[in-house]
Amino acid sequence: MSGAEQKKHFDFSVLRRVFAFVKPYRWRFIVSIVLAVVLSFFTPVRPFFIQLTVDKATGKNVHTPWIIELLFPNRDLSVAWQFIIAVTVFQVAFIFIETAARFYFSFITSWLGQSVVRDMRTAVYKKILGLNLRQFDRTPIGTLTTRTINDIESINDIFSDGLVPIFADLLSIIIVLVTMFVTDWQLTLIALIPFPFLIIATYYFKESVNKSFIQVRNAVAALNAFVQERITGIQILQAFAAEDRELENFKKINRHHRNANIRSIFAYSVFFPVVEIVLAVSTGLLVWWLAGQGASNPIKNKELAGELVAFILYLNQIFRPLRVIADKFNVIQMGVIAAERVFKVMDNTDTLPPSPKDAFAPTERLKGKVEFDSVWFAYIEENYVLKNISFKVNAGETVAIVGHTGSGKTSIISLMNRLYQIKKGAIKLDDVNVEHYDVDVLRKNIAVVLQDVFLFSGSVMDNITLHNNEISREEVIEAAKLIGVHNFIMQLPGNYDYNVMERGNTLSLGQRQLISFIRAILSDPAVLILDEATSSIDSESEQLIQKAIDTLITGRTAIVIAHRLSTIRKADKIIVLEKGEIKETGTHEELLALNGYYAKLHSMQFEKSKTISV
């Protein structure tokens, strides 16, 4: 990324959008600003009182502070001891007050940042849940994960380590400088002679660290994507003995990450000693100037002793925040860059249209009549995968859809519950366009059982109910018994509380299918869509699954994506797809008699099964 691109990323409009999330907490934000101002005025107080003490000890005529009048009304102690006791009492009280203020300032800025992060993360996750599935086809999962977690966490730094702390530091520096000029403007100018060198060093440090941070961030993203993908595909890597090659690839990415971090460390290693050198030079100039003044006038030398001590403390109070202020500017810039990435997700308009205000939301279960009327659909622009698809399924009928891979079978079932948006035509359920339904009502009336069943890490019960507290354990057990799955679950360790682990890898494909059937029957859908569940499983599981399917489709409209033609002979209607178009429609016998596409598919599978059996 070039320097021009980096500067372009620091967009104040993005920062304004981030602060829009502060509105619910604006009073706490105001309190943090007030505390920043108060703490800035606290900064020069202790050096000032130390100066008074030194001045008094060296015999300089100093006005007696009111606190001494209050503590020692009878003046029964020496002046020196009065000052020592008074300053000690004041310093102790002041330290407690300042410490409490700094604690609350640190806490409230971090609390504010975490609250904004929580709200933004919720908003982003809500947005992701509503994105068109097409976005997940195009966007790597790791990218959305990074946006939701890592990038939003960087936005927290804008509050806890960035904008408000920078404001507090800058204000402190200004207050200290004003105090120094009021105390002795000549001495202040002498002390600030090396200051331009520090400003130049700070600028180059900021630029160097900023570039390093961006490189580190990109390297981290590359590492995350690489590791996530390789762990997901670890079975393939081990099966093809590719571990060593992938390890070398990982070492290259990891080396780039290390080098980027080292460049950042190098910048810090140079900058901090430079700050110390400039501070030492400033201190040396102070001593040199005051020594020159005192050489010609010993009395004045005593009078300037307090100023010397105070100015050394003032310089430390200036240089201490300057050590980190450049780093905090980088924190803000990286937070703005992260916010810009997050807002790109939030601004994504590729979502399914929301339910209309007058959405159709019947309370009773639908009958299940399905109609496709001249439906056209494309995943990418005008590259249609479905072309002029029209068919009807009466309530309670079973319709099978067959065709070669890529013919559009899965696309049809994805459109029914509005997972994707059609380009042209209409899809109707009980003679009502699916776009007119309340989305939740529509999807509760359509249950989908996919061939590749996804199970979340957690118990069997959680995967069946999907954490819906309205579904009781008794209802789950009753549904499992209805489709003949209860005995299988009871054989698992912990039965319904058995942890299936990530993606359900501790269960066989057939067992995962059976769990998905319970999900489907619990919603009591009007339409059941099956991406044929009996492919790629053993014969024993197939018999159990077939019995479950027979129970599921009873009294419901069923649309079956068929891979094995032998399983759909009893279907009321078979639709044959080829390259996104309907080529034939009819029963098993009717289609065989046509001797067309279906007959060829049947012949191919028959010959294949005959060859395998031989």
Q: Do residue 306 and residue 406 come from a single domain?
A: no
First to last CA, the chain: 62
Cβ proximity of 445 and 527 under 8 Å: yes
Residue 613 has pLDDT above 50, yes or no: no
**Reduced DSSP (H G I as helix, E B as strand, rest coil) percent helix, strand, coil of the chain, to 5:** 65, 10, 25
Q: Which two tokens stand for residue 586?
A: 């009819």
Judged by DSSP in three states, 586 sits in strand
Per-residue pLDDT at 611:
46
Q: Which two tokens stand for residue 491?
A: 């054989």
Verdict on whether the full-model pTM lies above 0.85: no
Q: Do residue 200 and residue 323 come from a single domain?
A: yes
Residue at which a domain ends, from 346, 361, 389? 346
Per-residue pLDDT at 160:
76
Q: Is 6 inside a domain boundary?
A: no
Of 28 and 294, the one with more pLDDT: 28
The CATH number of residue 414's host domain is 3.40.50.300
Cα 190 from chain centroid?
50
Residue 485 has pLDDT above 50, yes or no: yes
What's the whole-number mean pLDDT along residues 588-596?
A: 84
Count each helix (H run) and each strand (E run) in the chain, helices first: 25, 10
> Within 10 A of 124 (CB to CB), how many other CB atoms are there?
20
Residue 53 has pLDDT above 80, yes or no: no
Residue 133 has pLDDT above 80, yes or no: no
Q: Give the span between the Cα atoms of 546 and 534, in whole angstroms.
A: 7
Residue 7 has pLDDT above 60, yes or no: no
Q: Give the span between the Cα atoms of 576 and 578, in whole angstroms.
A: 7
Residue 27 has pLDDT above 60, yes or no: yes
- The amino acid occupying position 348 is N
The CATH number of residue 314's host domain is 1.20.1560.10
Q: Do residue 232 and residue 100 come from a single domain?
A: yes
Phi, psi for residue 261 in degrees, rounded to 5: -65, -40
Cβ proximity of 32 and 112 under 8 Å: yes
What's the whole-number mean pLDDT along residues 31-46?
A: 85
Residues 6+ apart with CB under 8 A from 610: none
Of 373 and 132, the one with more pLDDT: 373
Cβ proximity of 565 and 602 under 8 Å: yes
Q: Do residue 311 and residue 210 come from a single domain?
A: yes
Cβ proximity of 177 and 188 under 8 Å: yes
Q: Do residue 78 and residue 117 come from a single domain?
A: yes
Residue 60 has pLDDT above 70, yes or no: no
Mean per-residue pLDDT over the chain, rounded? 78
Enclosing domain of residue 83: 12-346
Q: Is 135 inside a domain boundary?
A: yes
- Edge to edge, the sheet with strand 581-586 lists 446-449, 527-531, 557-561, 398-403, 573-578, 581-586
Residue at which a domain ends, from 283, 312, 346? 346
Q: Do residue 174 and residue 124 come from a single domain?
A: yes
Per-residue pLDDT at 8:
46
Q: Do residue 141 and residue 85 come from a single domain?
A: yes
**CA-closest candidate to residue 522, choices 477, 488, 574:** 477
1-5, 491-495, 541-545, 574-578: range with lowest mean pLDDT? 1-5
Cβ proximity of 164 and 32 under 8 Å: yes
Per-residue pLDDT at 567:
64
Q: Is 353 inside a domain boundary?
A: no
Q: Is 56 inside a domain boundary?
A: yes
Q: Do residue 308 and residue 378 come from a single domain?
A: no
Residue 239 has pLDDT above 60, yes or no: yes
Q: Give the span between the Cα atoms of 583 and 575, in whole angstroms.
A: 8
What's the whole-number mean pLDDT along residues 402-424?
A: 82
> Looking up tokens 């007058």, which residue turns up?
358
Of 229 and 376, the one with more pLDDT: 376
Q: Is 311 inside a domain boundary?
A: yes
Per-residue pLDDT at 297:
57
Q: What is the pLDDT of residues 430-453, one digit of tens each?
A: 888 888 888 888 888 888 887 777
Q: Is 578 inside a domain boundary?
A: yes
**CA-closest candidate to residue 496, choices 518, 528, 513:** 518
How many domains would you assign to the chain? 2
> Looking up tokens 């590359």, which residue turns up?
222
Residue 375 has pLDDT above 70, yes or no: yes
In the DSSP assignment, the letter for residue 372 is E
Q: Is 364 inside a domain boundary?
A: no
192-201, 358-367, 415-424: range with lowest mean pLDDT? 358-367
What's the whole-number mean pLDDT along residues 214-232?
A: 76
Q: Do residue 298 and residue 330 come from a single domain?
A: yes
Q: Do residue 76 and residue 168 come from a single domain?
A: yes
Q: Do residue 159 and residue 298 come from a single domain?
A: yes
What's the whole-number mean pLDDT along residues 482-494?
A: 82
pLDDT confidence band for 4 (50 / 70 / 90)? very low
Q: Which two tokens stand for residue 211?
A: 């570039």
Q: Is 236 inside a domain boundary?
A: yes
Residue 278 has pLDDT above 80, yes or no: yes
Q: What length does the chain have?
A: 614
pLDDT confidence band for 81 (50 / 70 / 90)? low
* Percent of the chain whose pLDDT exceeds 90: 0
Per-residue pLDDT at 80:
58
Residue 1 has pLDDT above 50, yes or no: no
Cα–Cα distances (Å) from 341 to 4, 53, 149, 350, 464, in that order, read: 18, 55, 12, 16, 35
Per-residue pLDDT at 11:
65
Q: Do residue 281 and residue 401 come from a single domain?
A: no
Q: Give the span between the Cα atoms of 123 and 125, in whole angstroms.
A: 6
